[in-house]
Structure 1
Amino acid sequence: MKIVVLGAGAVGLTVAAKLSRVADVHAVARTRHADAVRKRGFLMTGIWGEGTCRFSCSEDLPDAWRDADYYIVAAKSTGTEAICRQFADVIGGREVVSLQNGIGNEEIIARFTDRVIGGMIITGFEWRGDASVHVSVEAAPVKLGRFPSGTDAAVEDLAALMRKAGIRAEATGSIRTDIWSKTLYNCALNPLGAVMNVPYGALTNPHAWTIVTMIVREACRVAEAEAVSLPWETPEAYLEYLRTEQLPATAAHHSSMLQDLALGRKTEIDFLNGAVTALAQKHGIEAPYNTCIVELIRFRERL
């Protein structure tokens, strides 16, 4: 099995490292990370295991890897279209998998191939240096499904390969639901944790939780308008799941958006709360809390 990871940052390099134990893997990454992988290997710590992993990695895509079985896009959502354009002649008609945050990535990829596999990964990956990542938390198994719905042999085979590599993974026939479910989690915690500069566990403070509650209620109304069937019957049912199940598992995690702001990088806000507000406008739904958090993050991006 040949797998290429495109836009490999912390998530992509770590997934590549795990998969390299059971498949031939090449990762396309930034030069400093690719150089580090070539020189001394990829360093992984945390709950996915400890050690050094060696696999093919460069800042480009060698000809030998232009016939991979799967191309996994693991870039920030802000880079999805650029990556698809860069490798359009390679990914056309191929199995392309999104392991990214937010709403809209699969729709972008679908403009370049008719073989889109949606993915949901809700795990904490934190940089510890060039080509060095600490896996801090895991709230659920990776979910994979044919986008926008259904499953097939290609999906099942990739999920099985991930499990063989030691990654908890499941095939699903309703990946759009899973993507929206993760987006609820990210919309609720990611930008607020960034603005407040606190780990997720601190957001159970009653004042922060009031904001979390309103963000979730608005997002659930938008999901309903989009005909997305969420696993929870009410926003309150999801909020209880978030408080009792997801937050305890990720309480020590710092927002990826906080890391982006600290490094002066553009965040994924337009694919999270920004996507919720855009869809809210489409359906004539009021979403003031999501709108406010979007504007706060955009303000921080421009400091």
Structure 2
Amino acid sequence: MVKLAILGCGNIGFFLAAKILHHYYPLSNKKENVVNENVELLLVGRQRLLNKLNESGEILLMTYNGTKIIIPRDHVNYVTDVKKIIEFQPDYVLVTLKVTQTVEVMREIAELDGKVIIVSIQNGVRNFDLIRSIFLKSQIISGMIVQNIIYSNHCNFTQTSNGSLFFQFTPSTHFITSILSNAGINSIITTDIRSVQYGKLLLNLGNAFAALGGSVKQILDSKTYRHIYAICQWEAIEVLDGSDINFVPFNYKLPIRLMPYILYAPDWLSNFLIANVLGMKTNNARSSMLEDFSLGRKTEIEELQGEIVRLGEIIRKDRDEGGIIMDGVKLGGGDRSLTPYNHGILELVKLVEEWMEEHKKGWDIPFTADEVLAFIEYGIVPQTLQF
């Protein structure tokens, strides 16, 4: 018997749970909370989603290829008390928390240190270090999911992009990837998860645009929004190269360095390539940051544009202290930011967060591309945000 706990069970957590339960727990098996007598599964998440699960009576997942997976409520062991994981005594904890929650939540189960294997399936590049600061003895496996999973209503989820889960090679990685692969979750073991994380970060720079513009389709249909997004990616590629950080394109059919050029292409060509080369279904695609806006939650912007700005500042400081070499050219001094567009997006999202904090509610007013551009280039705060 293998015991798995999914901690932070939101969109990604429900995707994993639905696939695992669908494969290991056939509907003919009525044993409470047990998955095929081989795997026992515990989900830990927010009260809001537990309410949705109870109201709907099922988990419904629509996969990228159109398969509908339905898991009845009585097959799902979902709790909101993090301490229940300690009672559960899992072999593996799959962490799907937002990075902003990682330290606080992991501290609540710190007594499991050395007794459990932690699998981080989170956006960002700092989660391993954050978890390691609390779990000093446990083995930690870094992972990254490249699929986009959106929540629609009730307890319904849709996979809007295809892809795999990537995991850092460790002595224990093969066992957990075999469980996931058997459940139809394509899992790949790599010796360089950091490159995968930074590759995903490049794509996730678009999360902020979808939140600011109101939807993924809205920004991809706007030439100005696409151009701002492309410049953010060019800035990111430059500072990643300048920091000697590799990044990989997952399983896409073209080098990730070409993504800014796709965004800069004419509307018809850009939309065709995004749909047919990147495999994104943009009509109903949403970003997790857009959900954060609507629910009034703190976003992961510091781990996205914030990470690019941070790397750019390190390069700039090194340059100012005597010059560094980038692309064979020595850069002199000066205080010009290497990442003005990423910095502008970072600051605009922070303003929205401040507004939500002050008004104690979510944000649902889309910004036009011209408003975003005016803020980046001239510091003009959109009228709707002026307190």
Structure 1-normalised TM-score? 0.86
CA offsets, 1:123-169, max 9 Å, x none? 22222345x13123123211111xxxxx1341122112111111122
Partner of 1:138: 161
Partner of 1:293: 345
Q: Does 1:24 align with 2:44?
A: no
Partner of 2:230: 213
Q: CA deviation at 1:40?
A: 6.8
* Rounded Cα–Cα distance in structure 1 between residues aligned with 2:61 and 2:110: 34
CA offsets, 1:166-198, max 9 Å, x none? 1122111111111111110001x1111111113
Contact 2:42–2:78 (CA under 8 A) maintained in structure 1: yes
1:58 to 64, 71, 79: 79
* Rounded Cα–Cα distance in structure 2 between residues aligned with 1:185 and 1:72: 23
Inter-CA distance 89–63: structure 2 relative to 1 (3 Å threshold): closer
What secondary structure sits across from 1:302 in the alignment? Answer: helix
Q: For 1:1-303, list aligned pairs within 5 A.
A: 1-20=2-21, 21-22=23-24, 23-34=39-50, 37=53, 42-47=58-63, 49-53=68-72, 54-60=75-81, 61-66=84-89, 68-92=90-114, 94-113=116-135, 114-129=138-153, 132-145=155-168, 151-187=169-205, 189-200=206-217, 202-203=219-220, 205-231=222-248, 236-239=257-260, 244=273, 247-252=278-283, 253-284=285-316, 286-303=338-355
Contact 1:217–1:235 (CA under 8 A) maintained in structure 2: no
Q: CA deviation at 1:206?
A: 2.8
* Rounded Cα–Cα distance in structure 2 between residues aligned with 1:178 and 1:93: 28
User: RCO higher in 1 or 2 (8 Å CA, sep ≥ 6)?
Assistant: 1
What secondary structure sits across from 1:138 in the alignment? Answer: coil
Contact 2:149–2:157 (CA under 8 A) maintained in structure 1: yes
Partner of 1:148: none
Inter-CA distance 110–221: structure 2 relative to 1 (3 Å threshold): farther
Contact 2:58–2:71 (CA under 8 A) maintained in structure 1: yes
What secondary structure sits across from 1:50 in the alignment? Answer: strand
Runs of 4+ aligned structure 1 residues displaced above 6 Å come to 232-235
Given residue 83 of structure 1, which amino acid in structure 2 is its aligned partner? Answer: V
Q: CA deviation at 1:10?
A: 2.0
Moved more, 238-247 or 27-36: 238-247
* Rounded Cα–Cα distance in structure 2 between residues aligned with 1:75 and 1:231: 23
Given residue 19 of structure 1, which amino acid in structure 2 is its aligned partner? Answer: I
RMSD: 2.6
Contact 1:17–1:55 (CA under 8 A) maintained in structure 2: no
Contact 1:14–1:133 (CA under 8 A) maintained in structure 2: no
Given residue 12 of structure 2, which amino acid in structure 1 is its aligned partner? Answer: V
Q: How many residues align?
A: 295
Moved more, 264-273 or 104-113: 104-113
What secondary structure sits across from 1:249 in the alignment? Answer: coil
Inter-CA distance 234–161: structure 2 relative to 1 (3 Å threshold): closer
Given residue 7 of structure 1, which amino acid in structure 2 is its aligned partner? Answer: G
Inter-CA distance 119–240: structure 2 relative to 1 (3 Å threshold): farther
Q: List alignment gaps of at least 5 residues for structure 2.
A: 25-38, 264-269, 317-336, 356-387
Moved more, 77-86 or 106-115: 106-115
Given residue 10 of structure 2, which amino acid in structure 1 is its aligned partner? Answer: G
* Rounded Cα–Cα distance in structure 1 between residues aligned with 2:235 and 2:87: 47
Given residue 89 of structure 1, which amino acid in structure 2 is its aligned partner? Answer: E
Q: List alignment gaps of at least 5 residues for structure 1.
A: 146-150
Given residue 167 of structure 1, which amino acid in structure 2 is its aligned partner? Answer: I
Moved more, 39-48 or 276-285: 39-48
Inter-CA distance 35–62: structure 2 relative to 1 (3 Å threshold): farther
What secondary structure sits across from 1:123 in the alignment? Answer: coil
Given residue 185 of structure 1, which amino acid in structure 2 is its aligned partner? Answer: L
* Rounded Cα–Cα distance in structure 2 between residues aligned with 1:222 and 1:288: 12
